[in-house]
Amino acid sequence: MKCYGYALIQVARDTPRNVKMKIYRIMNGAVVTIKGRRYRSKGMVKDMKGIKISGSLYMFPLEYIPIVLEKLSEKKLDSFIKIIETCRCSCD
């Protein structure tokens, strides 16, 4: 029997705007222009099969939550993230 689950991750409301933008770029990716060439990063939502629910609310499968938190802690942004809810469904 497999167990599937998702966790909701929310950016705290009192987070400064510049920190929110850093988190947004990490989660959703960014486009950078260097010497006229455009480069795009994919973002964690696409890489880790997550879903963007709103500007500050994301849903990720449970197996990717430690990786998401690790990447945010590398940039010292994990203190602005709150895991709201974990839901599990055990079905075949």
The model's pLDDT over 56-91, given as tens digits with 9 standing for 90+, comes to: 899 998 888 899 999 999 999 989 999 887 766 655
Is 46 in contact with 29 (CB distance < 8 Å)?
yes
Distance from CA of residue 25 to its chain's centroid? 9
At 17 the pLDDT is 93
Vertex 43: Cα angle to 42 and 48 (nearest 5): 105
* Strand partners of residue 69: none
Paired tokens of 5: 């689950």
Render pLDDT for 7-60 as a digit per residue (tens, 0 to 9). Answer: 899 999 899 999 999 999 999 988 889 999 998 888 889 888 888 998 889 999
* Confidence at residue 1, expressed as pLDDT on a 0 to 100 scale: 42
Tell me how crowded residue 72 is: count the other CB atoms within 10 A of its CB.
20
